Amino acid sequence: MHRNLAARTSSVSSCLPDESRWGYVLPIEERYWTRFSKRNRAGKKVHAYVLAGNLLSARVKLVFFYSIHPIKEVLGYADFLERISGDSRELWKSNGHEACLNSFDEYSDLTRRKDRVTFFRFTNLQETSKIVSFDQVSGILATTRMSQTGMYLTKEQSESLLKLLMGPDDANGILCRGLESPFQ
C-alpha cells in the first residue's frame, strides 16, 4: 500500500538510541493529557500526538509528558514508536483515529491548517501515581525553565526522572525493557 508521505522515520530502523537523546520531555496541554488518559483506560494501545513542526528525533526511547501552565508537572511517560511527517490530510486519514482530537476541524485548528504536519506515535502510555512538579525535576533537566517545544534527555537524566516518578526498582525495569524493545 503506497502512502504519499514525505518522511516516515521509525525507531525500527535505528539500532540503539543516541545516548544524548534517549528521552524527551513533551509539553502538553492538560486537556490533551486527559484525553490520552481516557483513550488509554479505554484500552487503546497506540496513540498519536500531532505537531505542526518536525520535532523529535526518531531515536528517542521514552517520552515524558509535562503538563504546561498552570500545572507544570510531569504526569506520565510512554514508549516512543515512530514519527511520521507528511501531508496533513493524508496523515489525518491514516492516523487520525490515534490522536486525541475530536474532529478534523479541531485537528486543522491545532495545526493552523498547515499542509504538512508530524504525527508522533507512542505506545505503553503510563500515568504516574506520583505527580512530579517542575521544581522537583529542574535539577535533573539542568534548566530553570521548560522550553515550549520540549527538551531532550540523556539516558542518565531519563533514569533519574523515572526514579522520581516510580521509585528506583521499577525505573530499572523500564530502562531495561526500553533497551530490549521490539521497536529497535
Question: pLDDT at position 177, please?
Answer: 54
Residue 95, pLDDT > 90, answer yes
pLDDT digits (tens, 9 = 90+) for 134-183: 888 888 888 888 888 888 899 999 999 998 888 765 655 555 554 443 33
Residue 77 CA from chain centroid, whole number: 7
Distance, in Å, from the CA atom of 52 to the CA atom of 5, rounded to the nearest integer, reads 15
pLDDT digits (tens, 9 = 90+) for 4-54: 333 444 333 334 446 788 999 999 999 999 999 999 999 999 999 998 766
| Residue 26 near residue 66 (C-beta atoms within 8 A) | yes
Confidence tier at 3 by pLDDT (50, 70, 90):
very low
- Domain covering 7-179 in this structure, CATH number: 2.30.130.30
Question: pLDDT at position 179, please?
Answer: 44
Distance, in Å, from the CA atom of 112 to the CA atom of 7, rounded to the nearest integer, reads 20
pLDDT digits (tens, 9 = 90+) for 43-85: 999 999 998 766 666 688 999 999 988 888 999 999 999 999 9
Domain chopping of the chain, boundaries: 7-179
Rounded (10°) CA dihedral 159, 165, 169, 170? -100
Residue 90, pLDDT > 60, answer yes
Question: pLDDT at position 100, please?
Answer: 96
Burial of 91 (0-12, 13-18, 19+ CB in 10 A): buried
Question: pLDDT at position 175, please?
Answer: 55
pLDDT digits (tens, 9 = 90+) for 99-137: 999 999 999 999 888 888 999 999 999 998 887 888 888
Question: pLDDT at position 166, please?
Answer: 82
**Phi and psi at residue 5, in whole multiples of 5°?**
-105, 130
| Residue 9 near residue 83 (C-beta atoms within 8 A) | yes
